[in-house]
Structure 1
Amino acid sequence: MPARYSAPAALRNRDPILAVLRQFLPPAGLLLEIASGSGEHAVHWARHLPDWTIQPSDAEARARDSIAAHAAEAGLPNLLAPLALDAAAAPWPVDRADAVLCINMIHIAPWAATLGLLAGAARCLAPGAPLLLYGPYRRDGLPTAPSNEAFDADLRRRNPAWGLRRLEDVAAAAAAAGFQPVPAVTEMPANNLTLVFRRG
């Protein structure tokens, strides 16, 4: 069986996320992607952000094999080999980055993974550097889309430690980890959001 696999959601959301990256990233640097999954996003960033070096990572060996296979096919000089990185574990195998990106992880992982992600990103990033989080969220005072409610119920059936997180809880944890307390929030297709936190 080939190592490379494809994630349909990655193909659907990569261009909207790329637009946000172009808006919030500095002109150049090292982008550390946490929980890179299939690797298709990392290839897309490397292809369309040629002044950036892309460092993909994932905790799962199957994902890292897929990332490596996609990277080998793409042959892009600014795409690094994937790192074995568990967001909840410390220390991380990389100690600095100019931006950290995490897509669709925190709702399919225990809350400890979110706390580890925030702590690890705070260790890696210089003051003012961005942490970008993409996915579905709950927001106080706003209705949750029916599709997201159904998704949340499915996640919690699969694992009671999973589920959509309150944006306010993530923002409070980010502030405790050393980020500015109010993120920039960008509405995304399919009832998702991109949150951009700046290192304090």
Structure 2
Amino acid sequence: MTTPPPFSRARENNKQPILEHLRNIFTAPATVLEIGTGTGQHAEYFATALPHLLWQPSDHPDNLWQCEQRLQEAALPNIAPPLGLDVGAAKWPLAEANAAFSANTAHIMAWPEVQAMFRGLARVLTAGAPFCLYGPFNYGGRFTSESNQAFDAHLRAQAAHMGIRDRDDLIHLAQEVGIALEADHPMPANNRLLVWRQARAH
């Protein structure tokens, strides 16, 4: 019997609400860099629903195995082979992308890695390219719900570098590298979809 690929209940639950927004954001043919592909459920689902996109999965080299079986079995023509991506590397394995997507990564990464992610996106995204960042966020230093506060405590108990990021800190960080916040969409389970736009040409 074939072992099923790794599965994330959270990704299964949020993929349709996210897709409803991506349909209106990723409207033109594009290469979409996904940072933190994880189990590959988002890659498979979004690439199936948005065939005009070339979906480029990526994850830290140590985690890449999580998506490989699922994406190989899906064998979709518009999913590129997944890339090993360390966001802190001076050079990323993809030179250019027309869009980017990342879900539930900012609170897992250490803050210097979040900074490196935005700097890297500023290097590879074409002018006007959107970046969709999904997850829980704080506002003005405050949690938006008791469940998010409990989740933050759970994260920090696992590792001190993890924790829910504040939207104001992200806005400031993004502005430094020429990326602007364009939209902020409420999502189920006290999550948000932040839509950023690359303002600068390479």
Query: Into which bin does the TM-score normalised by the smaller protein fall?
Result: over 0.9
Unaligned runs of 5+ in 2: none
Alignment-derived partner of residue 40 in structure 2? 39
Alignment-derived partner of residue 119 in structure 2? 119
TM-score for both structures, normalised by structure 1: 0.94
1:14 partner amino acid: K
Structure 2 residue 30 is the aligned partner of structure 1 residue 29:
yes
Structure 2 residue 74 is the aligned partner of structure 1 residue 74:
yes
Structure 1 residue 3 displacement after superposition: 7.5
- Cα pair 2:58 2:85 within 8 Å, conserved: yes
Task: Write the mapping of 1:43-192 to structure 2, written as runs, cut at 5 A.
Answer: 43-61=44-62, 63-140=63-140, 144-180=144-180, 182-192=181-191
For the residues of structure 2 that align with 1:66 and 1:13, how far apart are their CA atoms?
18
Question: Aligned pair count?
Answer: 198
- Cα pair 1:130 1:197 within 8 Å, conserved: yes
2:131 partner amino acid: L
SS of residue paired to 1:108: coil
For the residues of structure 2 that align with 1:65 and 1:2, how far apart are their CA atoms?
14
Structure 1 residue 95 displacement after superposition: 0.9
SS of residue paired to 1:122: helix
2:195 partner amino acid: V
SS of residue paired to 2:37: coil
Runs of 4 or more off by more than 3 Å in structure 1? none
For the residues of structure 1 that align with 2:131 and 2:25, how far apart are their CA atoms?
10
Structure 2 residue 34 is the aligned partner of structure 1 residue 14:
no
1:71 partner amino acid: L
TM-score for both structures, normalised by structure 2: 0.93
